[in-house]
């Protein structure tokens, strides 16, 4: 679970209080990380677009999940390291992170050369705390 970044908090509050209009990003990108702050690097690694999410549940806490497969493809030479976290952003590189912290994956995965990396529908859960 991760909280909203300061940017996302401002956007949401301004929108809710009718002092600003929220403009959703064109795409939501999923980044893979080897710790809470280091994005993967390596041959053939790139953030993947995930624009398909279900509506927030009415549970406590509210949750949204990806509704489609997120396919990062296959790691190139040297692999991508051990994936431990993911993060959401509004750009293919750089951009604004929507969550304050990276979200830890329930299972860490060492990605070696030739390994595929995919997340099935429903695997990425986003909650706000």
Q: What is the tens place of the pLDDT at every residue in 59-92?
A: 888 889 999 999 999 999 999 999 999 999 999 9
Q: Is residue 115 part of a domain?
A: yes
Round to whole Å and give the CA distance between 56 and 54.
6
DSSP E strand stretches across 43-112: 48-49, 63-65, 70-74, 81-89, 103-111
What's the average model confidence in pLDDT over 35-54? 95
Q: Is residue 39 part of a domain?
A: yes
With beta carbons less than 8 A apart as the criterion, state whether 6 and 54 touch. Answer: no
Q: Is residue 121 part of a domain?
A: yes
Provide the domain limits for residue 66.
6-127
Does the predicted model carry a pTM greater than 0.75? yes
Q: Is residue 15 part of a domain?
A: yes
Q: Is residue 1 part of a domain?
A: no
With beta carbons less than 8 A apart as the criterion, state whether 13 and 4 touch. Answer: no
Domain count within the chain: 1
Q: Is residue 99 part of a domain?
A: yes
Percent of the chain with pLDDT over 90: 66
Q: Is residue 55 part of a domain?
A: yes
């Amino acid at each position: 679970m991760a909280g909203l970044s300061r940017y996302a908090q401002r956007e949401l509050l301004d929108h809710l209080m009718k002092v600003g209009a929220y403009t959703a990003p064109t795409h939501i990108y999923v980044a893979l990380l080897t710790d809470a702050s280091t994005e993967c690097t390596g041959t053939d690694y790139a953030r993947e677009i995930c624009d398909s999410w279900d509506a927030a549940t009415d549970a406590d806490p509210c949750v949204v999940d990806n509704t489609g497969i997120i396919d990062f493809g296959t790691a190139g030479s040297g692999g991508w390291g051990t994936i431990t976290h993911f993060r959401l952003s509004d750009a293919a590189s750089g951009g604004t992170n929507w969550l304050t912290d990276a979200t830890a994956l329930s299972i860490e995965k060492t990605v070696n050369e030739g390994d595929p990396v995919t997340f099935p529908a429903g695997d990425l859960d986003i909650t706000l705390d």
